[in-house]
Amino acid sequence: MHHANYYYGHAHVLARYCALPEPMHPPRIQGYLQHGWNIGDGLAPGVPFVEGSRLLVWSEQVRRRAWSQGRRDAVVVGSPFAYLLEMAKATAPAEEEREGTIFYPFHGWEGQQVMGDHRRLIAELQAHETGPVTVCLYWNEHRVKAIRRLYEKAGFRVICHGYRGFWWRDHDREFLVRQLAELRRHRRVVSNRLCSAIWYGVLAGCQGAVYGDPMVLDNADPTFGGEPRLRRQWPEVYGYDPDMTAAHQIARAELGADELAGPEELRTLLGWPVADRSLTPA
């Protein structure tokens, strides 16, 4: 259904978990899959939504918020990143293989740009991070040479996980795979605003930290409370040296890591064909 279901290769990750044949374009998900960590009802503000469609959310917290907004057909399925991590458990690196910090600056997208001073963020990173620093720019900022050069001149490694896709085109099925690989290289994951990448990193074993100028999103929708609410509700990850244990417990809840369905159940929830057991050899 909605093209956002395929952002970041989400549908491809879920298809892999469900053991659908590859290579292929996954079947259309029957409903709206939450495509990013969300402090609202699972839908991005202003996104058109077909009434009666199932809302497939990452966590129980989001399901409850959706219910309070009148969306009664919300179902918890867990986040695609948590499914990817489940599939990649056997390849988890040893702690001593990690070093340095990966930093995710707050970003814009096609419809909204971010306003803020990257130089201030660079100075704060240099003052508080030890070891090598990787800066992962969202595609929207990565294409701006002036922003890339600021971080490169500071001596940071600059990368981009890829393009998330749009209107059923250019979806990068390896986006989350690359993101997981990068997170596992680093001891810390840092951002200037609480976001999906922080929870992903914490779930993958990084120490998460949120600090610095949170910047401003052009024409931001304040419906769900914005940056002030983030600081009030999740203070455990703010500051230079947050407690890893507390953050990890929250990350599991926010990403639905304890709510994951089995492959056949997930196929049913997504509206995909269930495996025909009659064809399985005895």
Helix 10-17 / helix 80-87 crossing angle, nearest 10 deg: 40
Average pLDDT over residues 19-39: 87
State yes or no: pLDDT of 16 exceeds 70. yes
pLDDT of residue 93: 80
Q: Who contacts 222 (Cβ-Cβ below 8 Å, separation ≥6)?
A: none
Report residue 195 as tokens: 């976001």
Sign of torsion over alpha carbons 154, 227, 50, 62: positive
For residue 197, give the nearest of 219, 212, 175 by alpha carbon: 175
Averaged pLDDT for residues 253-273: 96
What are 178-233's pLDDT values in tens digits?
Answer: 999 999 999 999 999 999 999 999 999 999 999 998 887 665 566 665 788 899 99
Q: Report how far residue 159's alpha carbon sits from residue 246's, in angstroms, rounded to the nearest whole number.
A: 29
CB 218 within 8 A of CB 112: yes
Report, as an integer, the average pLDDT of 162-167: 73
pLDDT of 55 over the 80 cut: yes
CB contact at 8 A, 138 and 160: yes
Tokens 């129980």 belong to: 60
Between residues 108 and 39, the one the model is more confident about: 39
Question: Has residue 25 got a pLDDT over 90?
Answer: no
Select the more confidently predicted residue: 145 or 11.
11
Q: What sections of the chain are H helices per DSSP?
A: 10-17, 60-68, 80-87, 118-128, 139-142, 145-153, 175-185, 196-203, 226-233, 244-254, 263-270
Write down all domains in the chain, each with its CATH number in brackets. 3-88+256-275 (no CATH), 93-254 (3.40.50)
**Would you state the pLDDT for residue 113?**
65
Distance, CA of 190 to CA of 180 (rounded, Å): 15
Report the chain's mean pLDDT, rounded to a whole number: 87
Task: Please state whether 207 falls in left (phi above 0), alpha (psi between -120 and 50) or beta.
Answer: beta
Q: Residue 280: is its pLDDT beyond 50?
A: no
Q: What is the sign of the dihedral through the CA atoms of 19, 20, 25 and 30?
A: negative
Instruction: Report whether the peptide linkage leading into residue 23 is cis, meaning its omega lies within 30 degrees of zero.
Output: yes
Task: Give the per-residue pLDDT at 241.
Answer: 96
